[in-house]
């Protein structure tokens, strides 16, 4: 199992809407993430800075690098771009974090 962590940034005042949209995440998106090998996916919010911290575990044979090409992923990004920092392709700006410690 591989571990992956990254940060993203919400627009001010959008935390409630971000949570609402994730509470109502589409089953097709969940299925696509699972099919790609994404497991144990959590997102945390640091409210004072509007920073989102995401953590996910990936199966050893994960194909998560194919997710950006999936229609349901693109549709989700399009829906989310109004409440968070996004790239020109509508994907969220996600800054990878380097693991410096791990304890099982």
Catalytic positions, please?
A: 22
Tokens 């800075």 appear where? 49
Is 39 in contact with 62 (CB distance < 8 Å)?
A: no
- Token pair recorded at residue 93: 């700006």
Rounded to a whole number of angstroms, the distance between the first and last alpha carbons of the chain is: 12
Neighbouring CB atoms inside 10 A of 15's CB total 15
Across 10-99, where does the E strand assignment appear? 38-46, 51-58, 95-96
């Amino acid at each position: 199992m591989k571990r992956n962590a990254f940060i993203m940034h919400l627009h001010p005042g959008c935390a409630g809407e971000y949570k609402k949209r994730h509470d109502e995440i589409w089953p097709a998106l969940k299925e696509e993430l699972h099919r790609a090998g994404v497991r144990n996916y959590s997102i945390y919010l640091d409210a004072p800075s509007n920073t989102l911290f995401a953590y996910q575990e990936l199966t050893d044979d994960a194909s998560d690098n194919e997710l950006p090409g999936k229609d349901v992923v693109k549709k989700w990004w399009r829906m989310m771009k109004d409440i968070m920092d996004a790239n020109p392709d509508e994907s969220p700006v996600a800054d990878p974090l380097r693991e410096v410690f791990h304890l099982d």
